[in-house]
Chain A
């Protein structure tokens, strides 16, 4: 915590330079007071452009400690502290109750509070649909899309299937519900992808929900399940150790990372599911939201902050290790994306019968 009390960084804003001169203005005679008054007139504009947190910022994680969202939030916290990107401390708080509903409801009810931000995972869309707890992204203020988390179809390397096509055929031959698909949580991203595969390929799996992605990968290595849709970062070490085999990635395009990861293969050599005949597309939002009623300059402050975070080496390294899709969106772009994603989730969940009636 020692770094956070330092004076605000040497960023030059009109407001800062004025604030610096303010004491002089006060101590000087009336001649310069005029200049001071002129300056005061300028303050509203200047201040708006340069809103900054005036107390510590709460960074809500609508998931438990140790998960993907939590890791990312703490990574961001570390980057901000290390690079001194913010004059106030940022504190990560986990509110995981009710599949994240607790965290989202907290932010939803924090009207006009610029000192609270939340990081999302897919439960932004899935939890209200599955549990009926009333909230939506429209109840909050979208700030920025930080990245999209990829999903990959994995099988045990002892399994004979080498492509999504072979996998689907094997699942069909095995008979309904014979193939077990493991995933994190219930009626969340992993099960939605599973349902999408079922709908697209005309197979049925038995979906087994586990607590975390690491558990799922280990269960697949131990042959307790037949396949998983783990995020790259959760399964990469098992791939490198030769225990798991990736079949396809659920993004629109191949992952652009061409550095060899395992066995001479790179993330880029994994085909997309669509190009290999399995018409399913899915990525998970890692985005930042604020409560309702915040002002545009407050949003602008955080957009700027996260732009700086994205430029750090640590962040780039983290993105590469986890094979993230590094799209960055703000403003209307981001809202358009959110609207589309919400529709996608609603359609998939309705079809699969996951929506609470």
Chain B
């Protein structure tokens, strides 16, 4: 009974929230935010966090509600926009759209850029919508759940991300291992967050920063792709992309087929956003899971729409639900949420358990704007699908230099450092060599983004337990995640064993078709 009352109250507050939005200025801010956000998302390097941070002081003279509506809409816009360059040029506009490149770009190469973009945007919207529903009705319950996550639990989740992604590619396991170890090594450069000392910087000032994931990604994917295309004849594949409004409709008709992937992606995303694990790991985990459980797993990596749906739903669900621990606990679930948190304090609001009680208008205005903002975002990006897809028709000799310049600007923006541009070019060559030798890039990128986090969680857990590994089975929550991770890791071995036994029982030579 009390829960139902809670829900009714939530509905009532939400309606009030929509009332706050009825102010035309707030609607205007919403659209400004979305448009800026999409642009920020398209430009690699200039992430949502940077974009919001730059605009934060400008919101100083607005009311907090208008300010958060505009800034959070920038965030939604960036979440949508990150997919655009991933699909078209294999350049992830944002870290969380790396996994979108795996199948989104091959789709574009086959001439299905419009379909890939539509699928990406629609599933983003779906993920966000699930997350907003969750925030509306279950906020207090879920906020409590996040508190149960200590270092051991965080490590368990990161381990699960690795395990659900690794050990299923078609590449040789040694190449996967190689790429991953290189990623870990690069992630280790810079400050060791546990001892507070410098590692592998060799006295160089430039290496103090370590290797930023974004710069690596811009180089490995963006510049690497350009180098490959140059070798293959100075033209983009997929020139013949169908570009008209019908594409959107046709794609929508085929999307319900992936309902299972979308729901799984949303669950993974919401969970990762709340705990808070972040949108980037969520997208990798969701992609890994989809690849493992899909009927079309053979086709993953070659332009399978399911491979676009999975990471996009998860990324957007995680990005959205990351605001919940920020509002209720004051812990940011993503870099952008961290900046928004700073914003709350600047506007004189105190994030924490009492925000929902004391600042009702603000909180529910924000939640209402999540609904409307995402709908507005979907409209903005879908209407521009044909425009974006037609970029591929521009001759390579014109667009390629533009991409290189945009990449360079993006790499520079991350830390305002010139050496990062050089670093990006070096990563570009590495990316090219990797592709030529058919080493997978994904494990390297995953290790680079998760390596740091996993290392500190693991070492924090070891500090807490005084070096006892049993901490990873010390309570049902952490124990079940770790066990699940290990099952995931050894799944190929299990399934091979099972198959062998089955075929033996069948007495024979029967070959089980994979598809």
A residues neighboring B (CB under 8 Å) = 1, 64-67, 70-71, 74-75, 77-79, 81-82, 92-99, 101-102, 105, 130-133, 177, 180, 185-188, 191, 206-212, 214-215, 217-219, 221-222, 224-225, 233-234, 236-238, 240-241, 243, 314, 317-318, 321-322, 354, 356
Please tell me if the beta carbons of B416 and A97 are within 8 angstroms of each other in the complex.
no
Q: Can you give 6 contacting A-B residue pairs, CB < 8 Å?
A: A65-B338, A98-B198, A218-B146, A218-B147, A222-B148, A238-B352
Mark interface residues in B247-259 (1 if CB within 8 Å of A CB, else 0): 0000000000000
In the complex, what residue of chain A is closest to B209 when comparing beta carbons?
A: A97
Query: Is B501 interfacial (CB 8 A cutoff)?
Result: no
Knowing A180-B464, A206-B463 are in contact, say whether A98-B332 is a contact too (CB < 8 A).
no
The complex places the Cα of A214 from the Cα of B351 at a distance, in Å, of: 10
B342 at the interface (CB under 8 A from A): yes
Q: Give Cα A237 to B49, complex, Å.
A: 24
Q: Are B464 and A99 in contact (CB under 8 A)?
A: no
The 0/1 profile, CB within 8 Å of A marked 1, for residues 191-218 of chain B is 1111111100100010011100000000
Please tell me if the beta carbons of A97 and B208 are within 8 angstroms of each other in the complex. Answer: yes
Given contacts A66-B332, A78-B346, contact A131 B464 (CB under 8 A): no
Interface check B64, CB cutoff 8 A: no
**Which listed residue (A67, A92, A97, A186) contacts B195, Cβ 8 A?**
A186
- Decide if B229 is an interface residue (CB 8 Å cutoff): no
Contact B198 A78 (CB under 8 A): no
Kindly state the separation between the CA atoms of A224 and B148 in the bound complex, as whole angstroms. Answer: 8
Q: Which of B53-61, B117-125, B428-436 participates in binding chain A?
A: B53-61
Please give, as numbers and ranges, the residues of chain A lying within 8 Å of B332 by CB-CB distance: 66, 212, 214
Interface centre among A75, A177, A217 (most CB of B within 10 A): A75
Contact call B208/A101, Cβ cutoff below 8 A: yes
Q: Which residues of B contact A238 (CB under 8 A)?
A: 330, 352-353
Cβ-neighbour of A92 out of B53, B197, B205 (below 8 A): B53
Task: Say how far B263's CB is from chain A's closest CB, in angstroms.
Answer: 29
In the complex with contacts A95-B416, A240-B354, A186-B194 CB distance below 8 A: yes
Question: CB within 8 A of A71: which of B49, B193, B346, B355?
Answer: B346
User: How far, in angstroms, from A222 to B346 measured CA to CA in the complex?
Assistant: 26
Do A102 and B342 touch (CB < 8 A)?
Answer: no
User: Whole-angstrom distance between the alpha carbons of A240 and B352 in the complex?
Assistant: 9
Chain B neighbourhood of A214, CB < 8 A: 329-332, 341
Since A102-B208, A222-B148, A317-B348 are in contact, a sample of 11 more A-B pairs with Cβ atoms closer than 8 Å, ordered by chain A residue number, is A66-B332, A67-B342, A78-B346, A95-B416, A97-B190, A186-B192, A186-B194, A214-B329, A217-B331, A218-B146, A314-B60
* Shortest Cβ distance from residue B185 to the other chain A in the assembled complex, whole angstroms: 18
A79 CB to nearest chain B CB (Å):
7
Q: Which residues on B sit within 8 Å (CB–CB) of A188?
A: 196
Closest to B341 in A: A66
CB distance from B360 to the nearest CB of A (A): 16
Measured between alpha carbons, how far is A133 from B151 in the docked complex, in Å? 30
Which chain B positions have C-beta within 8 A of A243? 353
Min distance, Cβ A215 to any Cβ of chain B, angstroms: 5
Closest to A210 in B: B460
- B residues lining the A interface (CB < 8 Å): 49-50, 53, 56-61, 146-151, 190-198, 201, 205, 208-210, 325, 329-332, 335, 338-339, 341-342, 345-346, 348, 350-355, 415-416, 456, 460, 463-464, 466
CB distance from A317 to the nearest CB of B (A): 6
B57–A99 touching, CB < 8 Å? no
Residues on A with beta carbons closer than 8 Å to the beta carbon of B58: 1, 78, 81
Q: Chain B CB within 10 Å — which of A81, A92, A99, A225 has the most? A: A99
B149: chain A residues within 8 A (beta carbon): 222
CB pair A186–B351 under 8 Å, yes or no, is: no
* CB-CB nearest in chain B for A96: B209
A77 near B208 (CB under 8 angstroms)? no
Complex CA distance for A225 and B191, rounded to whole angstroms: 24
**Chain B residues with CB under 8 A of A215:** 331
Indicate if the CB atoms of B466 and A206 lie closer than 8 Å: yes
Cross-chain contact B346 with A318 (CB below 8 angstroms): yes
Distance, CA A50 to CA B49, complexed state (A): 37
* Measured CA separation A222–B143 after assembly (Å): 11
Residues in B whose Cβ lies below 8 Å from that of A225 = 464
Question: Which residue in B147, B190, B353, B463 is a CB contact (below 8 Å) of A237?
Answer: B353
**Contact in complex: A131, B198 (CB < 8 Å):** yes
> Complex: how many Å from CA A193 to CA B355?
30
> Chain B residues near A180 (CB, 8 Å)?
463-464
A237 B201 Cβ-Cβ under 8 A: no
B150–A219 CB distance below 8 A: yes
Chain A residues within an 8 Å CB radius of B191? 97-99, 131
- Cβ–Cβ contact B416 & A74, under 8 A: no
Task: Write the nearest CB–CB distance from B172 to chain A, whole angstroms.
Answer: 36
CB of A78 within 8 A of CB of B57, answer yes
Q: How far is the CA of A74 from the CA of B348 in the complex (A)?
A: 14
In the complex, how many angstroms separate the beta carbon of B451 from the nearest chain A beta carbon? 15
- Roughly how many angstroms separate A217 CA and B146 CA in the complex, as a whole number? 13
- Give the docked Cα–Cα distance between A243 and B208 (Å): 38
Please tell me which one of the listed residues B49, B56, B150, B193 contacts residue A186 in the complex, with CB atoms under 8 A apart. Answer: B193
Q: Which residues of B contact A321 (CB under 8 A)?
A: 345, 348, 350
List of B residues within 8 angstroms of A132 by Cβ: 198
Q: Which of chain B's residues have a CB closer than 8 A to the CB of A186?
A: 192-196
Which residues in A have their C-beta under 8 angstroms from that of B456? 209, 211
Q: Which residue of A lies closest to B146 (CB)?
A: A218
Closest residue of chain A to B351 (Cβ to Cβ) is: A237
Q: Is the CB of A224 within 8 A of B150?
A: yes
* Nearest chain B CB to A206 CB, angstrom units: 6
In the bound complex, do residue A217 and residue B196 qualify as a contact, i.e. CB atoms below 8 Å apart? no
Q: Which of A191, A206, A240 contacts B464 (CB 8 A)?
A: A206
CA distance in complex: A212, B339 (Å): 12
Given contacts A95-B416, A321-B350, contact A65 B201 (CB under 8 A): no
Give, as a whole number of angstroms, the nearest-CB distance from A214 to chain B: 4
Known contacts A97-B415, A105-B205, A206-B464; is A130 also within 8 Å of B147 by CB?
Answer: no
Beta-carbon contact of B335 and A66 below 8 Å: yes
Q: How far is the CA of A222 from the CA of B58 in the complex (A)?
A: 36
Name the one of B147, B209, B335, B463 contacting A208, with C-beta atoms under 8 angstroms: B463
Distance of B319 from chain A, by nearest CB (Å): 16
Query: CB distance A65 to B194 under 8 Å?
Result: no
Contact of B197 among A66, A131, A217, A219 (CB under 8 A): A131
Shortest Cβ distance from A126 into B: residue: B196
Which residue of chain B lies nearest to A182 when distances are taken between CB atoms in the complex? B460
List of B residues within 8 angstroms of A233 by Cβ: 345
Interchain residue pairs A-B with the least CB separation, the first 5: A237-B352, A66-B338, A186-B196, A98-B208, A97-B209
- The verdict on A212 contacting B338 (CB below 8 Å), with A65-B49, A218-B147 known, is yes
Report how far A185 CA is from B194 CA in the complex, Å.
7
Residues of B within 8 A of A81 (CB): 57-58, 60
Q: Given A214-B329, A221-B147, A222-B149 in contact, is the A74-B353 Cβ separation under 8 Å? A: no
B residues in contact with A236, CB < 8 Å: 350, 352
Query: Once the chains bind, are B348 and A93 in contact (CB under 8 Å)?
Result: no
Q: Are B56 and A78 in contact, with the CB atoms below 8 A?
A: yes
How far apart are B138's CB and chain A's nearest CB, in angstroms? 18
A residues within 8 A CB of B463?
180, 206-208
Pair A185/B193 contact, Cβ less than 8 Å: yes
Contact B194 A209 (CB under 8 A): yes
Do the beta carbons of B198 and A241 come within 8 Å of each other? no
Q: Which of B330, B345, B415, B464 contacts A95 (CB 8 A)?
A: B415
Residues in B with CB closer than 8 Å to A66 are 49, 332, 335, 338-339, 341-342
Contact partner, B466, options A67, A177, A219, Cβ 8 Å: A177
B201 nearest CB neighbor, chain A only: A98
